[in-house]
Structure 1
Amino acid sequence: MVSEKPGHIGHGSAVESPVVHKFSSDEEIVLSHDTSSLPPGYFTSTYFLGTMVASGLAIAGGVGGFALAAPLLGIINADIGPDPNYVWIGLVYTLTLAIGQTLVGRLSDLFGRRWFFISGSILALIGCIICAVATNIPMVIGGTTLIGLAASTQLSFTFVVGELVPMEYRFMANAFVYVWSIPFSGLGPLVAYAFVLHTKAGWRWCYYLMIIVNGLGALCWYFFYHPPTFYMKNRTTTRWEMVKNFDFVGFILFSGGLLIFLMGLSWGGGVHPWNSAHVISTLVVGFVACVAFVLWETMANPKEPLMPMHLFKDIGWDATIILISLGASVYYAFSIIFPQMVFGLYTEDKAYGSALSCIVGACIVMGQIVGGLLSKWIGKQKWQLVVSTTAFTGLLGGVACATTDNKDTVIGLLIVGCFFVGWVESIGLAMSGIVIKDQSEIGTAVGIAGTVRSAISTVASTIYVAILTNRLGATIPAQVPPALINAGLPASSVASFIEAMTTGSFEGIKGLTPQITEIGVAAYKNASAMAYRTVFLSTIAFSGVALVLSFFCPNVDDKMTSMVATVLHKGGNGEIEGAREEKTRHAHVEDV
């Protein structure tokens, strides 16, 4: 029995013929095709179109499960809390997503994808139901844990869509999927606050909507998504043999180490002080476990490694995944800090403020869509990345000019800068699955890219929040008390005024007048603006490194071929979808 590697595409060359598995009985199953060898109507078959819809619903569920709730965490805590542990709602989502994407990519490469993606949508559905009926914060945390685990599959759409379309159309296919994220990733704060302001159920409608989305997604995956099964990909190996050969040591070191390390980062300065035993111990143990994982994968040579180290020998792939991770880290600075800045400097109106807060996400999604649509037509992806990274480095760094009086300038810089962040994200994420030498490892490659992106973004987010906290702790005491005292407020009332700026109530403050209030508020906003400017300046450190890395990214014009890495099959008999429909049509004609 002879088995050829499924879906192998040589580096820098087009594959001229389908890749097959051959068996001693002369039986063969074709796993990869050139479009010319596919049956007529394959790309318009119900199975292919249904899978594309399933992918769109997946990204909607993956981002919407948290993006809608994230702006409302304070409201949720006030409604069914208060509970100081409500910060875990955000932590568990990012932690489970970070470790899950590599696992989903690798395991689905080895065992087949179908049930991973069906189960992902079902898990998200269960998580959203728990959150929708939650009566306390621990229930929301538990539900969000399931939502984060599910998002590991839902946000892995890149390799599902990528392997099903011709190489030359992968960028465009991703653009199609990004469209589905507009109401959630793009307009999440606006939609979330609309539910709070205009529905009786309020924040629970965020989860009601996601129940519908995930339910439809699960149905689409089940009825339409029929990729090659484990048996079709591994006719010489049983599932039990694959399980026995699986890299369980690497799995424990990677999952446990990364989870503990990111947990320590997320705790620091918020849940626990940076110098606390909780933070220090988790950071040290997690880091040591991650180092041990790399040594294990490099030196132990497991039969089925969790993270094949040969992928990292490709400098172009390394540069691409770190570039998109650094681009995402810049995005997180603005997606986390800018909404606070909107309500802190520009408006107290929730509807207007939520609309302004959408600028970051909406413009990034537009960049993802436009970049995906135009990338193949423009060509020379390396230079697209260089130009786009240069643009967002300068434009978003320029947001450091922010004051209380130049809102329009800030918004203009944000719109264009975030658009180019989205362009980089769209091209880079697709390229992480294109530049690899073996397309049978596309899930592993893209999954690793997703994990690296989440890990670096978590580090960056921690840095941004720490910078903002530290700067506010310096600028507010330096600016606000002198302004208040000079305006006539007794020194004994200054602390009460600063505390009132966070609560919104100035009642009972001795010696406070409307004129003093106006002066104090203006001083507080100016001090806050100074802190925000420092955060935005700090993004240049990340985007500057990204700019350097963009010059090491490869062009993939030579890979824009008509090769389809994986085709959809119905059941386990290896018959391509579309061929059955064609046979039925011919049989009908012959009968007539």
Structure 2
Amino acid sequence: MAGEKPSLEESTGTRDVPIQALGEDSMTWRSAFTPRVILNLFFLGIANASATGIVIFLSILLNQYQATFGPSTISGWTPIAHLTVATCLFPLSGRWSDLIGRRYFFIAANVFAVIGNIICAKADSFNMMIAGSAVSGVSTACNQLAQAAMQELVPNQFKPYVLSILSVTTIPIQFAPLIAGSFVSDYSISWRGCWWVMTAINGSVLVGIVALYFPPDRTTVQEEGTLSQRSLKYEVIHFDWIGFVVLAGSLTSMLIGLQWGGTSYPWSSGHVLGPLITGIVALIGFCIYEAVVRPEIPLVSMKLLGHVRSFVMPTIVVGVSAMCYYSLNILWPLMIASLWTSNARTQSYFQMVAPVANIIGGTLYGPIAKKLKFYKYQMVVGVLIQGAFTAALAASDSGSRVMSSAFVAVASFFLVFIQLNAMLCISTSLPTTLLGSAFGLAGTFRYFIGSVASAIYISVLNNELKDNLQDDVTSAALGAGLPASSLEQLFGAIHAGNPAVMAQVPGINTSIEVAVASAAKTAYADSFKTVFLVSIAFCNSGNHVEIRKSHAFNHDHADAERYDGYFEKVVFREKRLLNTASTLHWALAIEALQDFSARQNQEDESVDQGEEQARLEEEVD
């Protein structure tokens, strides 16, 4: 009727439910956070944190594994096996936890975690290490469903605080770099001590879950949204096993191709293109199969995919922000070791920058987000700032350890806000019966897109290093007096990273070693610069997706009457914000490129001066 204000649903064009529209807001803290709920939150939070700890120890200790087992062409599969298994099992664990309840999934997850941790602790070869990594990957696929299970325990009004509790429970795991550095430097048990610590953590979680965690009885999800009891046999027979096999196979095939590309084989090789093309075709076939056949108990609920603004878009934002996260997770330890220090303990201190920022951001998230409201714009600002400071790391060099650490801290702080806001959007906008599937699919997408980002970053870094090391180190070494015939041995020593091997290079002396070390740092800095500039594309993608997210999630239910003509009022403002975000990112990129160009010009002038000096000396002789 003319003159009437449209409802929130009509003005936003979506049926998503705003954050406080689901009732239960009259509950008090005392009634919501009973002793049993608090203990459940604690053990579920530790279960989620343990999954992160396993990934950290598989990644940051890779050099120690190589020192123990010796160099191996399969060493890179130590973390990759874990991520591949977790990525493939995320949708299965999420869907089945919706079907039969989450209690037994968490029990099984921590049994697998204990077994996998013991295998890693007792490993005597990379084959055994990879086996333990794969077994623990099963636990990660289930334990990270704690993000959904924790939010099921409280009403909507307290969910931002539960997400802060989730972050607080990760505090012990965030000290993993220091724990690893201490074990390696100070104790004879070395890196194996890290895995015995993880065994104790998962064993404790197992006991707590068995004793305290009793979610609602087993229910089966029907597509109409109702709940009814069915036999386990019926569910097993009618579950979409064909879809699971096709999806798992496609993801595994693509992950293998991505990990081989640019490292084990060239990107144009059949070893890379074959798995990639096979995986893409299989994934397309999976989508067609799910849409046409529609199994009675599907792996991916079509109803879930219908929640575009409350599930699909937040999941994409999480994945895109994860691509920026992986640029830090992969490159930051390499930057520390190659630009600033080779001491294991000092490296662990620098590696703590991101975890400490994550702790602070996650702890402050609940009260800050609840006070500010406007959750969508919190995510927009978070994506903008995270992308800007990640791209700004392109200005890093051998003398920028303080500046670079500050950039990593800011990017990590806002990464937490992005991730937790996206989780809050999903958990408050979807029915409880779809939460497991939602978080399972979100986890699959996050891990898969992270693997894509890892492959891209590593490939770009390796290609840049190959050229930059060749150019910078060659000119520096020859300029310092190294015979040209010793260059091959010099590069072999650089790749070995062993001072003893460097000392055996013919014609080497202290002054040449200093010149070579300085040139190598410059080559690494220039290579890192290129990789961080690549991350700008991902960050801008996150801004475009996030600014188009549902407006329903942006306000409390009491604000519904303010939506009259809302779209007309904000379209121009949001376009301007998007342009500002993109402009800032590209301005930083241009600034970094200008700095890079200036440095290259200085190096070229230095090389020209060296060549001119050598020519003059030859003429004098």
1:174-213 pair list within 5 angstroms: 174-184=163-173, 186-213=174-201
Cα 1:480–1:391 change in 2 (3 A) is: same
1:394-405 aligned at under 5 Å gives the runs 394-405=388-399
What amino acid maps onto 1:248 in structure 2? W
Q: Which has the higher contact order (CA 8 A, sep 6+)?
A: 1
Correspondent of 1:533 among 519, 529, 532: 529
| Contact preservation (8 Å) 1:193, 1:354 | yes
Query: In the alignment, is the contact (CA less than 8 A) between 1:95 and 1:262 conserved in 2?
Result: yes
The residue identity in structure 1 corresponding to 2:521 is K
User: Match for residue 29 of structure 1?
Assistant: none
Mapped to 2, the partners of 1:270 and 1:212 lie a distance apart of 36
Do residues 358 (structure 1) and 352 (structure 2) align?
yes
Aligned to 1:518: 514
Give, in whole Å, the separation in 2 of the partners of 1:84 and 1:449: 32
- Partner AA of 1:45 in structure 2: P
One-letter amino acid of the counterpart of residue 323, structure 1: V
Shift of 1:392: 1.3
Distance (whole Å) between structure 2 residues aligned to residue 524 and residue 133 of structure 1:
37
Match of 1:419 in 2: 413
For 1:318 and 1:430, the matched residues in 2 are separated by 14
Aligned equivalents of 2:270 and 2:180: distance in 1?
37
Structure with the bigger percentage of helix:
2
Deviation at 1:291, TM superposition (A): 0.6
Residue number in structure 2 paired with 1:90 = 79
Which of 553, 556, 574 is the aligned partner of 1:556? 553
CA offset at residue 243 of structure 1? 2.1
CA offsets, 1:192-229, max 9 Å, x none? 11111122211111111011100010111111111112
Q: Is the 8 A contact 2:20 2:557 kept in 1?
A: no
The one-letter amino acid of 1:351's match is: R
Paired residues of 2:101 and 2:217 also in contact (CA < 8 A):
yes
Write the distance in 2 (CA, Å) between the matches of 1:89 and 1:82.
13
Q: Which whole-Å deviations, capped at 9, do the CAs of 1:93-115 have from their partners, x for residues lacking one? A: 11111122221111111111110
> Structure 2 residue aligned with 1:43, among 26, 33, 36?
33
Taking the TM superposition and a 5 Å limit, the aligned residue runs for 1:54-65 are 54-65=43-54
1:36 Cα shift? 5.8
TM-score by length of 1: 0.85
The residue that corresponds to 1:23 in the other structure is none
Identity in percent: 28
Is the CA contact 1:105–1:444 (under 8 Å) kept in the aligned structure 2? yes
> 537-546 vs 366-375, which deviates more?
366-375
* Alpha-carbon distance in structure 2 between the residues aligned to 1:539 and 1:99: 26
1:457 to 447, 450, 458: 450
CA distance in 2 between partners of 1:452 and 1:256 (Å): 15
Which moves more between the two structures, 212-221 or 398-407?
398-407
- Aligned ranges 1:414-493 → 2 under 5 Å: 414-436=408-430, 438-493=431-486
Q: State the AA in 1 paired with 2:477.
A: L
1:308-323 equivalent positions in 2, closer than 5 A: 308-316=301-309, 317-323=311-317
Please give the alpha-carbon distance, in whole angstroms, between the structure 2 residues aligned to 1:406 and 1:103: 45
Q: Pick closer, same or farther for the CA change 1:487–1:547 going to 2, 3 Å.
A: same
Instruction: Report the Cα distance in structure 2 between the residues aligned to 1:547 and 1:35, rounded to whole angstroms.
Output: 32
Q: Which residue of 2 aligns with 1:278?
A: 271
Deviates more, 1:491-500 or 1:164-173: 491-500
CA shift at 1:521, angstroms? 1.2
**What's the counterpart of residue 329 of structure 1?**
323
TM-fit CA distance, 1:559: 6.7
Alpha-carbon distance change, 517 to 428 in structure 1, aligned in 2, over 3 angstroms:
same
Aligned twin of 1:127:
116
Q: Is the 8 A contact 1:434 1:559 kept in 2?
A: no
Please give the secondary structure, in 1, of the residue aligned with 2:53. Answer: helix
Structure 1 segment 67-146 matched on structure 2, within 5 A: 67-146=56-135
SS of the residue aligned with 1:229? coil
Name the residue aligned to 1:247.
240
Equivalence for 1:504: 498
SS at the partner of 1:270? coil
- Does the 8 Å contact 2:18/2:553 carry over to 1? no
Q: What is the one-letter code of the residue matched to 1:117? A: F
CA distance in 2, matches of 1:553, 1:492: 61
Deviation at 1:77, TM superposition (A): 2.7
Please identify, of 384-393 and 303-312, the stretch whose mean Cα deviation from structure 2 is larger. 303-312
Q: Which amino acid aligns with 2:402?
A: D
SS at match of 1:162: helix
Per-residue deviation at 1:14?
8.5
**Cα distance in 2 for residues equivalent to 1:557 and 1:280:** 43
Q: What amino acid sits opposite 1:156 in the alignment?
A: L
Runs of 4+ in 1 over 6 A off after TM superposition: 13-17, 37-40
Q: In the TM superposition, what are the counterparts of 1:332-347 in structure 2 within 5 Å?
A: 332-347=326-341
**Which residue among 253, 264, 278 is the counterpart of 2:257?**
264
- CA distance in 1: counterparts of 2:531 and 2:27, whole angstroms: 54
Maintained 8 Å contact 1:368/1:425: no
CA distance in 1, matches of 2:334, 2:27: 54
Partner of 2:589: none
> Is the Cα–Cα contact under 8 Å of residues 323 and 546 in structure 1 kept in the other structure?
yes
Distance (whole Å) between structure 1 residues aligned to residue 30 and residue 366 of structure 2 = 26
Instruction: Tell me, in whole angstroms, the C-alpha distance in 2 between the residues paired with 1:141 and 1:12.
Output: 44
- Shift of the 39–368 alpha-carbon distance from structure 1 to 2, 3 Å rule, reads closer
Give the 5 Å matches for 1:376-387: 376-387=370-381
Structure 2 residues not aligned, in runs of 5+: 1-14, 222-226, 559-621
1:40, distance to aligned residue in structure 2 (A) = 7.5
Counterpart residue type for residue 70 of structure 1:
S
**Residue 245 and residue 364 in structure 1: after superposition, are their counterparts in 2 closer, same or farther (change >3 A)?**
same
How many angstroms does 1:558 deviate by? 5.7
Aligned residues of 1:69 and 1:206 also touching (Cα < 8 A): no
Change (3 A) 1:408 1:447: same
Structural RMSD (CA): 2.3
Distance 1:557 1:333, change over 3 A: closer
For 2:385, which of 386, 391, 415 is the aligned residue? 391
C-alpha deviation, 1:177, in angstroms? 1.7
Amino acid at match of 2:520: Y
**Contiguous gaps of at least 5 residues in structure 1:** 1-9, 18-32, 562-592
TM-score by length of 2: 0.82
* Total equivalences in the alignment: 534
- How far apart are residue 235 of structure 1 and its match? 4.2
Distance 1:42 1:494 in 2: 69
1:155 corresponds to which of 139, 144, 157: 144
Structure 2 counterpart SS, 1:230: coil
Deviates more, 1:368-377 or 1:94-103: 368-377
Residues 4-32 of structure 1 deviation map (CA, whole Å, 9 limit, x = unaligned): xxxxxx84269999xxxxxxxxxxxxxxx
